[in-house]
Each structure stands twice: as C-alpha cells, then as structure tokens.
Chains A and B, each alone.
Chain A
Amino acid sequence: MFSKKEEKRAPCTVEQCESCKKDTKRKFVVGDYVFKETSLCVSCSGQLRITKIFGEIIKA
C-alpha cells in the first residue's frame, strides 16, 4: 500500500561546445566522463566537452 514504484533511469551525457555554448544530449557511452573533450561541434567546429552525465527517468 505504501510502497513506491521504482523509478528507472537511463544514463545520458550532455556535451557543450566551448565556442558557441550549444548543448547536445546523447546516450551515455562507456568511456565518457565529465569534462572530457570529445569531438568537434557540427555547427561551429568548436571543441565539445562533456559537462554533465546523469540518469534521466524513463517514462513508461
């Protein structure tokens, strides 16, 4: 009666371009870590850096 339904969370990675400050969210990939420099921004070719990794609630 009082038990709460367990929330399931999927890991997400947010990357930010150091030039245009655009954020992009994608699925977490093993090897990702916060502040890691990844690829180049598709809009301005600036350096992308991971700013956040978090678990997002999966909606049923």
Chain B
Amino acid sequence: MGFGDDTNPVLWLIWIIPIIIFVFYGQRIQLQITSSEIKKNITKLQQFKENSRKELINYIKNNLNPTKDPAPKLDRFIDYFTIMPVDMDPNGIIPKVRHVVRSREDNTRAQIKSLFSEISELERTKVQTLLEIVTSLQLLYKIVNHLYLTAKKQNNYPLILPLQMMMPFIMEEANALNGAVPALKQGQPIGDGIGPMVVGKMMLGTKKQNASFETVWSETKYEGRKLFLIKAEGPSATVGRPGEAIETIVSQNKPDLIIMVDASLKLEGEDSASISQGFGAAIGGIGTDRFQIEEIATRHNIPVFAIVIKQSVKEAINLMTKEIADRAEEVRSQIYEMINDNTSTGHTVLVIGVGNTLGVSQ
C-alpha cells in the first residue's frame, strides 16, 4: 500500500479532515496567528505610551518646579484631538489648516506656561515637543488597538490584513518616537537639526534679528553676493515659522535665488547621511509652510533650490548620528558652489536651514 492509495478509509480521512477544517475555519486560524503577532505589538505600543508619559511627568516634577501636580492637565492634553477643516471644496483650505494648527499650538504653549511660575523658552519648547511625542504614541496605540479589537469582535480576517501590512511601518515610527525622548530631555540635537546646524554656522558673527515667531534671520556677504540666512531660533526645540520669515524678508529685499537645506527621509537602499540636490521647497510638516514658500517664489519668480541630507525616521528624530553631523561642512560647501553656479556678483540669495533646531544655536 502506497501513500497515493485512497481506498484506505483512515488515510482518506487524514487527507479530507484538514481540508474541511481549512475550508470552514481557515480564516479564523489565520486570524488567530496574525492577531497574536499584532497583540504583541499593541502591548509594546502601550508600554511606549505609558513610559513616555511617565518620563515627561517625572522630567517636569524633577527639573522644572511646577506650581501644582502636572499629571491631570497633561493627561487632558494627551487626549486632545484636532478636527481638520472640510476639504470637499479645497479652495482656501490652507489658511484654515494653518489657523487650526496654530490655535492648537498657541493653546498648548499657554497651558504649559500656566503649569509653572517661571519657565525658560528652551524648557517650554522641550516640554511641548515631549508632549507631542506622548500624544502621537497615544494616538498610534488607540488606532491600532481599535482596528485589532474590531477585527476580533467581527471575527473578520480581511479587516486585520491592512493592519498586518502597516504594522512594521507603525512600529518603526513608534520606536523612533520612543527613542527620541532621552535626546529631547537632555536638549541634544536630532537628525532633523542638520539644516539649522548648517545655516547656524553661517550665521556666527552676524547680527541676528527676529524674522517671525521663534525664527531668526541675519545678513552676510559671500563673494560679492548678499546672503540672507534664516533658521529657527536655537537651541530651543522648535522649527520656527519659515514661511512667514521668508514672506518678511522677500517683502523687503527680493532675492534672486532661494536655497533650502533640510533633512529628508531616505528610501530603503539609500545611504544614510547622503546628500542630494534638487528643486522646490524642501520642507516637511503639514504643508502650510511649503504652500506659503511656493506661493512667494512663484509670485516673485524666484527659483527655489534644495539640498537634503537623507536619513531614516529614527535618525531624523533621535540624537544626531556622527555620520550626519560630519556632513555639515560638505553641505555648506555645496551651498556656496550652488550660489557661485547660479548667481552673479551683486545678486541676493536667501538660504534657509529647515528643521528642528534643538541643541543648535546660531
């Protein structure tokens, strides 16, 4: 008797029973296997969320002398939500988005200040950024948990598939956010700060003036060209308001060229800390600043060049790596080369260092 002999009823049953089980219960078995993996990640997300909250509260209590227990107020913030404007008619949506986001930022700033009788701008921005990290981790945990519980409740395998596919990306972001906490608490530069670091050095020895909220500018000369330099005001944990700053500068002195320096997310396979040049406004965020810069450049017919320093999500929001820090000099020489190649003596160039300037002054 061979294995292919289907006349034996016992062997026949051994073949047919698993087929019946998989036909009727296959999805449930797959759901169990997939959900156990997702459950492990949800537990990890919960730990990240709770640890970051605890670290924020301990940091405030141990270092900043709050006037009262900060936990209840912070817990309310962590759960705050933002309702984005209706986009059925997208015409004029940018000012609305800006208004909603600014209102949230202004309110958070005021509420953080109210926790202390006195707090420096550096510490206030650190607390505000830490609070954003806790809020993001809380949101990630809530969304993933909701999708997981819904799929389990409905016993719906296809519902868990998109979550399973997205899970590695979500965990990469969550790990990066969780890893950012120590650097933020100690005021160390993060990978995203490479743009401000490059421009900050060019600003040394110049007179710094306020360009817009938490943003500074200064003027310098380079081989017969006038350079206007803009960056967020360091060493606070802020990205400033580069859109408004450019508006202010351009309204007074129309530049012949705009150069933006920023960190950029690398593609898989690309080298970390590699430098790329391109065209267009190199700036992340929700898009309001990019819109404003593009609008100004188009209105005044100013070409916008970009230099980006590639990095992963983790590198962008964690303590700056040696590889990224070592690239600052090279980026600066590329800026000067770009100025020489695209402008002549007597021209004006606007150079903007985009990114979070934590731990980087000017």
Contact = CB atoms under 8 A, between A and B. Distances in A.
Contacts of B320: 53-55
Interface in A42-60: 51-57
B243 interface: no
Interface residues of B, number: 25
Contacts of B328: 52
Contacts of B318: 55
Interface of B: 183, 186-189, 193, 197, 200-201, 204, 234-235, 318-322, 324-326, 328, 359-362
Contacts, number: 63
B319 A11 contact: yes
Contacts of A35: 200-201, 204, 234, 360-362
B322 A33 contact: no
A55 B359 CA distance: 13
A40 interface: no
Given A9-B319, A55-B318, A55-B319, A33 B234 contact: yes
B187 A30 contact: yes
Which of A34, A36, A54, A57 has the largest number of chain B CB atoms within 10 A?
Answer: A34
A52 B191 CA distance: 12
Interface string A22-45: 000000101111111000000000
A32 B189 CA distance: 10
A25 to B, nearest CB: 10
A18 B244 CA distance: 34
A33 B186 contact: no
Contacts of A33: 187, 189, 234-235, 359-361
Given A34-B235, A35-B234, 15 more contacts: A9-B321, A11-B319, A30-B186, A33-B234, A33-B359, A34-B197, A34-B234, A35-B200, A35-B360, A36-B361, A54-B189, A54-B321, A54-B324, A54-B325, A55-B320
A54 to B, nearest CB: 4
B91 to A, nearest CB: 43
B359 A53 contact: yes
B188 A28 contact: yes
A19 to B, nearest CB: 15
Interface string A1-31: 0000000010110000000000000001011
Given A34-B200, A35-B204, A53 B361 contact: no
A35 B188 CA distance: 13
Contact of A34 (B324, B326, B360): B360
